[in-house]
Structure 1
Amino acid sequence: MFALNLNKTPMPIFYGKAALIDYLKSIKTPNSTLGFVPTMGALHQGHLSLMQQSLAENDNTVVSIFVNPTQFNNPEDLLKYPRTLDADIEKINNLNSDIILYAPTVDDIYEGKVLSLTFNFDGLENQMEGKFRPGHFDGVGTIVKRLFEIVMPTNAYFGEKDFQQLQIVKKMVTKNNLKVNVIGCAIYREPNGLAMSSRNERLTDQERSNAALIFTTLNLAKEKFKTNSATSVTKWVEKSFDTSTPFELEYFQIADETTLRPCLRKSNIKKYRAFIAITINNIRLIDTISLN
């Protein structure tokens, strides 16, 4: 849990990039640092933990709230994505009213052309989420690059739940020579182990309880991977979800942390992660765990 901000001074809120850029210029000094936490809103404790880390490590912190249309390959998912700006503003203000909020419109970001750029992420985009969500990572790269160009942060914070996205953002920064340090932050979980996600708000109480199986399965897979092959563990997970009626397993993959390519044969010098995506009542949930 996080301490509430008792100083109710209203925080700076910007709905357009021009005003935000002018404000950031006015507070920057040659030696000051600026942290940035990009979000799509429907904020939860996981988001707040990213903000806490940014506040602790930087002189100023910007949080963005923007539901980016170009990263949704499913129009229904975009339509149903929770939008809770007023509640989000209250949560941020209660945490720390010194946080600078950027909540742009689609037109402010895309200037009338809601299109993705095309990126080459050296194959990172072709694994897992990329296979099941065509064009998703072009949309992610487009919005993150645009936000970095507007905010010009020193450090940017991303949760490791979206580990593939984290690796892709790091690759995009490297390939575009952007001067920002991308920091991955530990997954924040609900008491039953379910990774916190804005999509969790669409789950019923029973579905949220049932979804504890995701993290339980990942932990069991981690134990099995110590003495079994990736193929064997994958087959075990697939069989486990065959018998779990509320869930549909979209994928389970054990992959190299750096390349995200599937593990075919274990190596003692590589780091591996397990990645999973499931749907329950048309709500899509993802999670990951380090296997080393």
Structure 2
Amino acid sequence: MYLFKTIKNLQRYLLACKNRNESIGFVPTMGALHEGHISLLAFAQQHCTLTVCSIFVNPTQFNEKEDFDKYPRTTEADIALLEQNGCKVLFLPDVEEIYPHPDNPAPVFDFGYLDKPMEGAHRPGHFNGVAQVVTRLLQIVQPHHLFMGQKDYQQYKIIDKMLQITQSPVVLHMCPTLREPSGLAMSSRNIRLSPKEREQAAHIYRALLLVQQSMEVLPPKQARMAALNYLEQHIQNAQPEYLEIVNAHTLERVQHWKDAAQTVVCTAVRVGNVRLIDNLLLPPQTT
């Protein structure tokens, strides 16, 4: 595996690869890698002849400094895991390499309603930071394909819209969420959970499944309340920030299952001091 810390050296290498007509797949990460990230790498390897992974903890997408400071950083273990799984190129820049002129204004995108609900409402400025860093990384890597996980569903929709706005030729792929045996979505933040908290956090996915199971007998509003009640009953001192059933394309809340061809239930829950997100795409309904 080749490891690059500077844009200049990375781009020199990638230019040679493109001159050989290699297709480049890109997996951007913030490190603290787990099997979910490795599944993205595997998808990229299936579609492309060269896979580039980046590790960069982006300060502009954290609206809480404490969250940024506590974000897990396991660089040596990450490098070993990528090597073991056949990653060809790792881009490992520092903040100054990505943002050499920090006083320059970040690009501003009009995402319409997509950045308003859920994460947008509870993490002001988060998606501006996400769009800023993904735009920058795409400018640097210039991949043919971009691979992102479903766990960050709203982020996926934001990046999809950003690519449309910029008329980017990059093909975006959404890869399924990987889960622990308990159902807990794999996340870099899971390592901050105590054993008891990890056990309780598994109820987040079960609450989403409860919504799916309720579709035949309850309208969305009542299914949502049932899921929130479930979380409060099964997670000690549960702190759900939101649990919303929304149109999978517009992210607008649905009042009836037939309001959208595809719906998704999304949630963010604090378990102890750890904020976890998850979602579940729901089967289409006609009634």
Normalised by the length of structure 1, the TM-score is 0.93
Give the CA deviation at 1:269. 5.3
Over the matched positions of the two proteins, sequence identity in percent amounts to 39
2:107 is equivalent to residue 117 of structure 1: yes
Give the CA deviation at 1:245. 2.1
| Match 1:22 to one of 12, 22, 44 | 12
Match of 1:207 in 2: 197
C-alpha distance 269-215 of structure 1, shift in aligned 2 (>3 A)? closer
Give the CA deviation at 1:284. 0.2
What is the distance in 2 between the residues matched to 1:165 and 1:270? Answer: 20
More displaced stretch, 123-132 vs 237-246? 237-246
Instruction: Find the residue that maps to 2:168 and give its secondary structure.
Output: coil
2:38 is equivalent to residue 72 of structure 1: no
Match of 2:266 in 1: 275
2:244 is equivalent to residue 265 of structure 1: no
2:207 is equivalent to residue 222 of structure 1: no
Give the CA deviation at 1:123. 1.4
What is the distance in 2 between the residues matched to 1:109 and 1:271? Answer: 37
Task: Tell me which stretches of 4 or more aligned residues in structure 1 moved more than 6 Å.
Answer: none
Instruction: Find the residue that maps to 1:126 and give its secondary structure.
Output: coil
Give the CA deviation at 1:225. 2.0
Q: Are the counterparts in 2 of residues 41 and 65 from structure 1 also a CA contact under 8 Å?
A: yes
Q: Are the counterparts in 1 of residues 239 and 269 from structure 2 also a CA contact under 8 Å?
A: yes
Match of 2:37 in 1: 47
2:279 is equivalent to residue 288 of structure 1: yes
Q: Residue 141 of structure 1 aligns to which amino acid in structure 2? A: A
Match of 1:162 in 2: 152
What is the distance in 1 between the residues matched to 2:176 and 2:121? Answer: 25
Match of 1:233 in 2: 223
Q: Are the counterparts in 2 of residues 117 and 139 from structure 1 also a CA contact under 8 Å?
A: no
More displaced stretch, 56-65 vs 237-246? 237-246
Q: Are the counterparts in 1 of residues 208 and 279 from structure 2 also a CA contact under 8 Å?
A: yes
Query: In angstroms, what is the RMSD of aligned CA positions?
Result: 1.3
What is the distance in 2 between the residues matched to 1:57 and 1:242? Answer: 42
Instruction: Find the residue that maps to 1:214 and give its secondary structure.
Output: helix
Runs of 5+ consecutive residues of structure 1 not aligned to the other structure: 1-10
Instruction: Find the residue that maps to 1:267 and give its secondary structure.
Output: helix
More displaced stretch, 132-141 vs 216-225? 216-225
Match of 2:95 in 1: 106
What is the distance in 2 between the residues matched to 1:188 and 1:268? Answer: 29
Deviations 1:82-115 (A, max 9, x none): 011111000001111x520001110100113066
Normalised by the length of structure 2, the TM-score is 0.95
What is the distance in 2 between the residues matched to 1:94 and 1:266? Answer: 44
More displaced stretch, 229-238 vs 247-256? 229-238
More displaced stretch, 282-291 vs 261-270? 261-270
Superposed, which structure 2 residues align to 1:1-40 within 5 Å? 11-29=1-19, 31-40=21-30
What is the distance in 2 between the residues matched to 1:226 and 1:291? Answer: 12
Give the CA deviation at 1:201. 0.8
Instruction: Find the residue that maps to 2:42 and give its secondary structure.
Output: helix
2:244 is equivalent to residue 250 of structure 1: no
When the two structures are aligned, how many residues end up with a matched partner? Answer: 281
